[in-house]
């Protein structure tokens, strides 16, 4: 038997390999990794590792002998150049691998803006990106961050902790516009500004000034000029779908289209993680999610299907972000027409925004309110009527606000 070839050794790919062995799968497993180093956790890259609080070897996904002990052939520094469904082979630069099942776990790559390709302009997606950025982050330096998303704001918080001067340039009129409600955007913006981050909203990039191969300032379309010793471009990621798309896999919304078992439209080819688009039952729509939770859970689902255990992916999406003293935790996805209820006192720094549509709980956005977050992951999508008025009372447990359709919340 040729076994399973997994292309990509991030959270999704490693989880698929681990789950296959846990499911009793006995065939060969080969894990193709474009990076030379051992697979690692990505969330610390913008926080603890960038701040120097953790070393690269402290954030590996598995110990140094894990793969050998479990009969998983890790292939670092191997780049898959083509997928041939007819011959069931993955081509590499120096040969090819036969497979019975293939799993595409190629993730997404950071976008670099045109006009920013200079020595002191960075993106942050890989360990090497983080190490390069870390080397450039000298105390007192001027850091300009283009993009007010999670990566940009996490790096802003880390950089301020390290003593850098920070400007964040966001083209939308608020931070995290696609990810969190307006009230939470406003709160996050206020907290960053209180810590000395200069945030420029509704700002377009007019260009950059450079000298000797380095950016010296970033110019905004309104005329402002931001001094820049280094620049981070954090404007999102592009799904790495080329391998399977070139072989004929169907795509949707920028990702590889998969069914509930993580199968692509190619025979015996699965896809998992940031590179996928899938039907999300809790919203009834097709989505593409970039989160550790999604990557890990899709890896488990694909492994179950390959190992003959079945199963269909039906998650409640959840995310988190650490910025300064804020632990932001989000469960569910916002929907048009949702109503928001504030749970707890915003000024206390511990609260949740509870989002409902009619009598259905659809999302909870929490700041330093871990109990609310954990409860919401169990309640979203559960049958029954959710009482948003009761949820406004911090002393009423969230679980007490979900009742049978004809009952009232106590």
Taking alpha carbons only, the member of 91, 67, 64, 65 closest to residue 79 is 91
> What is the DSSP pairing of strand 72-76 with strand 80-84?
unpaired
User: What is the DSSP-derived secondary structure letter of residue 343?
Assistant: E
**CB 46, CB 133: distance < 8 Å:** no
In tens, the pLDDT along 259-299 reads 999 999 999 999 999 999 999 988 888 999 999 999 999 99
- List the Cα angle 276/277/279 in 5-degree steps: 135
Query: What is the rounded CA–CA span in Å between residue 170 and residue 178?
Result: 13
Q: What is the pLDDT of residues 173-193, one digit of tens each?
A: 999 999 999 999 999 999 999
CATH class of the domain at 112-233: alpha beta
The pLDDT value recorded for residue 291 is 96
pLDDT tens digits along 113-143: 999 999 999 999 999 999 999 999 999 999 9
Mean of pLDDT values over 330-334: 95
Q: Give the whole-number percent of the chain exceeding pLDDT 70.
A: 98
On the question of pLDDT at 62 being above 90, the answer is yes
Q: Structure tokens of 210? A: 């450079």
Q: What secondary structure letter does DSSP report for 310?
A: -
Residue 134's H or E segment, with its range, is helix 127-136
Asked if the model's pLDDT at residue 217 lies above 80, the reply is: yes
Token pair for residue 207?
């260009």
pLDDT over threshold 70, residue 407? no
Using a cut of 0.85, tell me whether the model's pTM lies above it.
yes
Pick the CATH number of 4-109+237-306 from 3.50.50.60, 3.40.50.620, 3.40.140.10, 3.20.20.450: 3.50.50.60
**Same fold across 4-109+237-306 and 112-233:** yes
Dist. CA 394–CA 397, nearest whole Å: 7
Evaluate if residue 347 carries a pLDDT over 60. Answer: yes
Radius of gyration of the chain (CA): 23
The predicted pLDDT at position 275 comes to 98
Q: Which of 48-57, 278-287, 295-304 is predicted with the least confidence, judged by mean pLDDT?
A: 278-287
The residues pairing with 205 across neighbouring beta strands, listed in sequence order, are 220
CATH homologous superfamily of 325-403 equals FAD/NAD-linked reductase, C-terminal dimerisation domain (3.30.390.30)
DSSP alpha helices (H): ranges in 281-387?
292-306, 370-379
Domain spans of the chain?
A: 4-109+237-306, 112-233, 325-403
């Amino acid at each position: 038997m040729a076994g399973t070839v997994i292309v990509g050794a991030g959270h999704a790919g490693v989880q698929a390999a681990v789950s296959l062995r846990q499911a009793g799968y006995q065939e060969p497993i080969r894990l193709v990794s474009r990076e030379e180093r051992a697979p690692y956790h990505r969330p610390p890259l913008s926080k603890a590792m960038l701040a120097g609080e953790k070393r690269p070897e402290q954030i590996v996904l598995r110990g140094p002998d894990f793969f050998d002990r479990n009969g998983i052939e890790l292939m670092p520094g191997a780049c898959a150049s083509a997928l041939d469904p007819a011959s069931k082979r993955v081509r590499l630069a120096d040969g090819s691998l036969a497979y019975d099942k293939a799993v595409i776990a190629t993730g997404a790559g950071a976008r670099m803006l045109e006009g920013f390709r200079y020595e002191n302009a960075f993106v942050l997606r890989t360990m090497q990106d983080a190490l390069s950025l870390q080397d450039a982050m000298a105390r007192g330096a001027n850091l300009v961050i283009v993009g007010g998303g999670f990566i940009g704001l996490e790096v802003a918080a880390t950089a301020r902790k390290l003593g850098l001067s920070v400007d964040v340039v966001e083209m939308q009129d608020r931070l995290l516009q696609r990810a969190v409600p307006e009230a939470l955007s406003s709160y996050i913006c206020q907290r960053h500004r209180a810590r000395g981050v200069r945030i420029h909203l509704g700002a377009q990039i007019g260009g950059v000034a450079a000298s000797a191969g380095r950016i010296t300032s970033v110019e905004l379309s309104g005329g402002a000029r931001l001094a820049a010793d280094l620049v981070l471009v954090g404007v999102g990621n592009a799904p790495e779908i080329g391998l399977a798309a070139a072989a004929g896999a169907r795509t949707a919304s920028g990702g590889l289209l998969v069914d509930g078992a993580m199968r692509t439209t190619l025979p015996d080819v699965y896809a998992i993680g940031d590179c996928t688009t899938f039907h999300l039952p809790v919203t009834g729509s097709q989505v593409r999610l970039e989160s550790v939770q999604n990557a890990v859970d899709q890896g488990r689902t694909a492994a179950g299907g390959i190992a003959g255990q079945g199963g269909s992916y039906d998650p409640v999406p959840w995310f988190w972000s650490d910025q300064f003293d804020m632990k932001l935790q989000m469960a569910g996805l916002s929907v048009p027409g949702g109503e928001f209820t504030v749970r707890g006192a915003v000024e206390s720094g511990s609260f949740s925004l509870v989002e409902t549509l009619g009598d259905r709980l659809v999302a909870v956005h929490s700041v330093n309110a871990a109990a609310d977050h954990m409860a919401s992951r169990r309640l979203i999508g559960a049958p029954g009527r959710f009482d948003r008025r009761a949820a406004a009372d911090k002393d009423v447990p969230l679980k007490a606000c979900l009742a049978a359709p004809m009952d009232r919340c106590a």
